A and B are shown apart, each in its own frame.
Chain A
Amino acid sequence: MSEKVFSARELRLRITDLEYKDLSPEAYKQEVERIYFEETGEALPAEMEVFTTKQSDAISQDSEYKGTAIRFHSEENEIDEVYIVSEGTQGLNDWLYNVEALVAGRSFVQVEEADNFMDEALDHFQYEYDSNKGSYDVPIIGLGHSQAHNTNATAYLVHDKFTNVYGVNGAQLNYYQLFRADPQFEQYLKEKYPILETDRDKIIDLNTDELKQHAINFYKDKAQNIEQDFSKQDPLYGVKDFRGLFSLGKETVHETNANYPGISDMFGKIDDDYLQQLQKIAVIYTKGSEKGDKMHVVDELLGVDTKFFRDFKLHHYATKNFQLLQNVRALDAALPEALEPIYQITDNKESILSELQDAGYISTEQKATLMDSFENIEKEIQAIESLVNDMKVARDQNHEGMILTEVIVDAHSFYKLQGALESLAEELEDFPAEEFEALLDSLGKSHGIGELMESLSNDKRKYVGTELYIKNTKGSKDIWISLSVTGRICGLGKLKLLAKEEKIEKFKNKLESKVYEVFEEQRTRANTAVDYMEANPNLDREFLYPHGFSPSFNRTITRINVHEEIPRFKDTSLDMTEHIHKLNASVEKGHSLIQQYRETVESLFKEEDNIAEQIDFMEGMYING
């Protein structure tokens, strides 16, 4: 292994997890520094540069591929390396890509995007691609979780630019996907299976054990540069030997949740034919989804375009009867093969769902809901099959053409067929995905990096999710403390108190300019007015008008005597000095609290643990970050 900065497993896992936090480049760098210090007790040994897909011109902002490139460089420490951290599966679209790429083995869009992003990032860091060597003159290390491992590892096999690839709970390589993505592997397989020269889709009918072995042999030289960590309870680990998938490189399996056995045993009980049908359904689903709504999925499921049936009206019997005959025959011919994988799934629903229930992944109620849904889909498909058969038989028996009563009976069947097609589409639309979501949630934790990190805990260090806690070294009772939280309390706490102080100052200034000064200005204005009126009484004759004196009378005001006593500021309750004082005191209390925390944490550890220095470092990172 060539890397010098993220050389420890824990570091690589935590940096991989960081990709999900969607941080700004500055915050990202700060987190990398923090994690590195927490894990090693030292500051980063090199300068760090970060380039993300958000800054990329090569990757569209709508793209599902997301990643961060980190460059470390230090002449002094002889460090020069680049990490490409690809983001794994998160949203629904990513899971659709999972179905397409990982199960159906069709899409490799993200693989190409990862490669393009790598080129752009390396160019950004001013490295040049050496076309003679076919690589960059710097180690490039790929980190990826879930689907991102498939992306990085596939990019490595196809483009050969990574030096090492590390995966955690990763989706495995897929030889169907590689057949489409890697021209050299495609050529290799075509030489082994000439039928692929004429029909590439025939690959799905080839012997899977043979294909897997070919893939492993073809890429064996790269295996030493791929390393993976797995949670035994991760569902992706459970399906790592699914049709089309194969693993390459060193694997370390961790028991992360002893409450569940993991689903690998369950999949081990399912025979290959069943998995093949499941894969066909995945391909069908993918093709249908690519075209738009669920009616396209129905078309792909049934193997024909049902638009003709959906648009057919009664009066079309007069004008489109021949086309109807052709379409009925086509549908009837296509149905048996098209429905075989669906029946395989629905026939086995009880055993699959029971396995999931027995393993504790779904409840009895959830199983019942899923059973109902599968049964409804099966019922609609059976109805379609039966109606099409009736219509076909009616036509086969009436070579001379149908008489009116037969047309009416046929039209009735046809009307029901249209209804069944609609119902099937609705059933697919209404499929209780939330029941699967609940199942995915329970499996999701084992798929995440946090649970695996927790399994790496020992009697001195413990991970909660991806946060590190260390055990006190003084006192008889075990107390687990997060130094990074302590650093955050001290560093961020002080920054927050500083911000609070600024706000209090702003409040005070506003109070002075908008209350105290305004009061004084108004007071001065009133006093000036009084003085002026008393000094120039005859200028204010308008005061007399509202009191019944006509302007036609000639009056002279000889004296004005204002009786008002204009209040002074100290006579009012406007002064908020005491409140401001209390607010400032609350800031001081905050500082005392921080100090108290710090001293308490320090008191839990022996002096030689250098806890104070570590807290200082963390605190400084937050304050200076």
Chain B
Amino acid sequence: MDSKTIRITERVFDLEDYSDVKRSLERIREDLIEREHDFIKNFHNLMIDENQKGKVIDHLGESTLEVASQNLNLLLDLEECIEEVIAELTEEVNNMNRFTMSITYTEDKPTP
């Protein structure tokens, strides 16, 4: 009996969807933003008014703004990062569940 080989691509497992994971990570990120705002708000009202600021206090204000800005930017980047990671996870998992394979078989005559 001759054997024949064909090359096919087949999905072995169903498509996976990770949007719920994305939502839960996103919720934590939003909580982190809220906490960041809370933290920065905490620094208000140390002094009575802006006119009192000398070099030392100015420096503190600048440091606060710098930290606030860096931290918030980090959390903004995180949104993009979550998006990319979940997209990649979905793509990788769905790709690894679809195989390209060579199948070698033998064939008999059909039974009358």
Contacts and interface: CB of A to CB of B under 8 A. Distances in A.
Interface of A: 462, 464, 467, 469, 475, 477-482, 485-486, 488-489, 492-493, 496-497, 499-500, 503-504, 506-507, 510-511, 514-515, 518-519, 522-523, 525-526, 529-530, 533, 537, 540, 543-544, 546-547, 550, 552-564, 566-567, 572-574, 576, 579, 582-583, 586, 589-590, 593, 596-597, 600-601, 603-604
Contact of A593 (B31, B64, B84): B64
B96 A558 contact: no
Given A526-B96, A554-B110, A479 B47 contact: yes
8 contacts: A479-B47, A496-B42, A510-B28, A514-B18, A522-B93, A526-B13, A537-B103, A559-B104
A486 B60 CA distance: 13
A501 to B, nearest CB: 10
Nearest to B109: A554
Interface string B11-29: 0110010100100110011
Given A485-B45, A507-B32, A567 B96 contact: yes
Residue from B18, B46, B57, B89 whose CB has the most chain A CB atoms within 10 Å: B46
B103 A560 contact: yes
6 nearest A-B residue pairs (beta carbon)? A559-B104, A554-B108, A526-B96, A514-B21, A561-B102, A496-B39
Contacts of B67: 586, 589-590, 593
Contact of B46 (A485, A504, A510): A485
Contacts of A563: 99-102
Interface of B: 3, 5-6, 8, 10, 12-13, 16, 18, 21, 24-25, 28-29, 31-32, 35-36, 38-39, 42-48, 52, 54, 56-57, 60, 63-64, 67, 70-71, 74, 77-78, 81, 84-86, 88-89, 92-93, 96-97, 99-111
A600 B57 contact: yes
A600 B60 contact: yes
Given A583-B74, A590-B39, A554 B107 contact: yes
A480 B54 CA distance: 11
Given A507-B32, A543-B10, A500 B39 contact: yes
B6 A503 contact: no
Contacts of B28: 503, 506-507, 510
Contacts of A469: 47-48
B93 A519 contact: yes
A489 to B, nearest CB: 6
A511 B74 CA distance: 17
A540 B12 CA distance: 11
A108 B90 CA distance: 70
Contacts of A601: 46
Contacts of A540: 103
Nearest to A484: B45
Given A529-B12, A530-B99, A519 B70 contact: no
A583 B85 CA distance: 17
Given A482-B45, A590-B39, A556 B93 contact: no
A480 B93 contact: no
B108 A579 contact: no
A516 to B, nearest CB: 9
B46 A489 contact: yes
A589 B74 CA distance: 13
A597 B18 CA distance: 43
A555 B74 contact: no
B32 A504 contact: yes
A328 to B, nearest CB: 66
Contacts of B64: 593
A547 B9 CA distance: 11
Contacts of A518: 18, 21, 89, 93
Given A554-B108, A562-B99, 18 more contacts: A485-B45, A489-B43, A493-B39, A499-B35, A503-B28, A514-B24, A515-B21, A518-B21, A518-B89, A529-B99, A533-B12, A553-B108, A554-B111, A564-B96, A579-B77, A582-B74, A586-B67, A596-B60
Contacts of A590: 39, 67, 71
B110 A597 contact: no
B39 to A, nearest CB: 4
A586 B29 CA distance: 14
A56 B21 CA distance: 46
A527 to B, nearest CB: 9
Given A479-B57, A511-B25, A552 B31 contact: no
A208 B55 CA distance: 63
Contacts of B18: 514-515, 518
B45 A480 contact: no
Contacts of A503: 28, 31-32, 35
Contacts of B24: 510, 514
A462 B48 contact: yes
A582 B57 CA distance: 27
B3 to A, nearest CB: 6
B108 to A, nearest CB: 4
B106 A464 contact: no
B103 A579 contact: no
A561 B101 contact: yes
Contacts of B12: 526, 529, 533
B99 A564 contact: yes
Nearest to B100: A563
B106 A488 contact: no
B92 A519 contact: yes
A319 B10 CA distance: 96
B43 to A, nearest CB: 6
Contacts of A478: 52
A206 B25 CA distance: 75
A270 B21 CA distance: 73
Nearest to B30: A503
B65 to A, nearest CB: 10
B84 A573 contact: yes
Nearest to B39: A496
Contacts of B45: 467, 482, 485
B7 to A, nearest CB: 8
Contacts of A557: 103-105
Nearest to A513: B21
Contacts of A556: 105-106, 108
B38 to A, nearest CB: 5
Nearest to B16: A522
Contacts of A559: 5, 102-104
Nearest to A492: B42
Contacts of A510: 21, 24-25, 28
A573 B101 contact: no
A553 B112 CA distance: 11
